[in-house]
Amino acid sequence: MGIISKLKGELVDIIEWLDDSRSTLAWRFPRYENEIKNGAELIVREGQRAVFVYRGKLADQFGPGHYQLVTESLPILSTLQGWEHGFRSPFRSEVYFINTRPITDLRWGTPSPVTVRDPDFTMVQVRANGLCVLRIADPEIFLREVIGTDSSVSTDEISELLRRVITQAFSDMVLESGLGVIDLQGKQTELAGRLKDYVQERVDDEFGLKIEDVVMTITLPEEVTEAMTRGVARGVEQARYLDNVGPMDRLQQGAAAEAMVEAARNPGGGAGSMMGAGLGMALGQQMGTMMAAGQAPPAAAPPAGPPPLPAAQQFHVEISGQAAGPYTADQLRGFVAAGQVTPASLVWTNGMAGWAAAQTVPALAALFAPAGPPPLPGSGPAPGNTP
């Protein structure tokens, strides 16, 4: 037994890591009492890095390659162990293999919704999820802050930590951007790149990690999605790209537009006139804003067909002691038939100096003419009218 033990003591160790899981970030080479013999071989494969640690202090590091562990190849460890007269065999040191390949299957998601202040829908709670691609960039920080005394570290052990970091970074990014939910969904690719930078700032010096890429999908509440599908929010979103649209409530704009369409269907009513006046004021303000900004007003499109017929003359009329209208002559015909407007009723229209009796206005005189033809000249009273 003594001879066999002696022969085994002269054998050269081979230190290497064979891993095909792609989910292990770090692994400590198992060795009884961490003893390594003089002349041991170290094999570091592509996507790996070997790090020697002596009594908690980082020593020599090795990239991909084949090495023989002698005094010359371990300058830092020789200093730490005080090898003044050459290599001591065996020597004690922990050897960690670090996976430097990108980890591509780390999924993340916001455990609770993030509240967003939105100009259309006031306060909206949104969620986000996606993938994160990362790798170990600084083995020293990763050893100190993540590995500690563990013999191995997998992605499962840091996934929860990274999810918390990404969730907080997403919340901070959304709040600082000031974007509404429609813009958030429309700029997901741009925001994913911004989120990558937010996360990188929080994991590089803290955990020694590098974020290679972040993929993100933003999910809106069902009621907001339904509103956008109905077209209300979509129409307002198109209008906001016009230079003359200010930061007013875009949902109210959509509702006002619908009211104007409805009022346009009843041009004879007072509400239609008021809505037309409101539309005129809005267009005037719009033109004023564009001129103040030095922008030329949009050129009017040429008419697609013949011009519209001239509008019928309208009259204001006295009904039950109150002014009403304006109404066209055809509309007043119904009031005459109902007895609400008589020949003595006062009327007024543009161009008149003042109110006048309806029967004295040429455009309305026909409303009070007899229903039948006048009697023939020289004939007596019509039958049935003899007193």
Lowest-confidence region among 249-263, 296-310, 372-386: 249-263
Last residue of a domain, one of 197, 225, 253: 225
Measured CA to CA in angstroms, residue 118 lies from 122, 180, 238, 289, 302 at distances of: 5, 5, 16, 24, 38
Integer Cα distance of 198 and 185 in angstroms: 19
Tokens standing for residue 145: 């802050």
**379 inside domain:** no
Is the domain of 38 the same as that of 145?
no
Helices (H), the chain: 2-10, 75-81, 139-142, 155-177, 181-186, 188-207, 222-230, 232-239, 250-264, 270-292, 329-337, 362-365
Q: How many CB atoms lie within 10 A of CB 74?
A: 24
**124 inside domain:** yes
CA-based diameter of the chain, in Å?
Answer: 162
Is the domain of 18 the same as that of 85?
yes
pLDDT reading at 26 higher than 50: yes
Average of per-residue pLDDT across 35-56: 88
Is the domain of 53 the same as that of 145?
no
Integer Cα distance of 314 and 324 in angstroms: 11
Q: Judge whether 153 and 147 are in contact, CB under 8 Å.
A: yes
What does the pLDDT read at residue 141?
Answer: 92
pLDDT in tens, 266-310: 544 444 444 444 444 544 555 455 555 555 555 555 556 676 666
**170 inside domain:** yes
What does the pLDDT read at residue 233?
Answer: 44
Considering the chain, what percentage of its residues have pLDDT values greater than 70? 70
Lowest-confidence region among 49-53, 132-136, 208-212, 318-322: 318-322
Q: What is the domain range of residue 242?
A: 232-288
**108 inside domain:** yes
What does the pLDDT read at residue 166?
Answer: 93
pLDDT in tens, 206-249: 999 999 999 999 998 888 888 777 765 445 555 554 444 444 44
**299 inside domain:** no
Lowest-confidence region among 8-17, 164-173, 309-318: 8-17
Last residue of a domain, one of 74, 99, 124: 99
Average of per-residue pLDDT across 335-345: 84
Q: What is the mean pLDDT of the chain?
A: 76
Is the domain of 118 the same as that of 215?
yes
pLDDT in tens, 111-154: 888 888 888 788 899 999 999 999 999 988 998 889 888 888 98
Q: What is the CATH number of the domain that holds 134?
A: 3.30.479.30
Q: Phi and psi of 60, rounded to 5°? A: -75, 150
What does the pLDDT read at residue 73?
Answer: 80
Is the domain of 108 the same as that of 93?
no
Query: What is the pTM for the complete model shown?
Result: 0.52
Is the domain of 107 the same as that of 207?
yes
Is the domain of 253 the same as that of 217?
no
**306 inside domain:** no
Is the domain of 89 the same as that of 18?
yes
pLDDT in tens, 6-20: 444 445 589 999 987
User: How many domains are there within the chain?
Assistant: 4
What does the pLDDT read at residue 134?
Answer: 92
Is the peptide bond preceding residue 297 cis, with omega within 30 degrees of 0? no
What does the pLDDT read at residue 321?
Answer: 79
The residues, any chain, with a CB within 8 Å of residue 72's CB and separated by 6 or more, are none
**165 inside domain:** yes
Integer Cα distance of 34 and 221 in angstroms: 56
Is the domain of 284 the same as that of 338?
no
Q: Phi and psi of 267, rounded to 5°? A: -70, -20
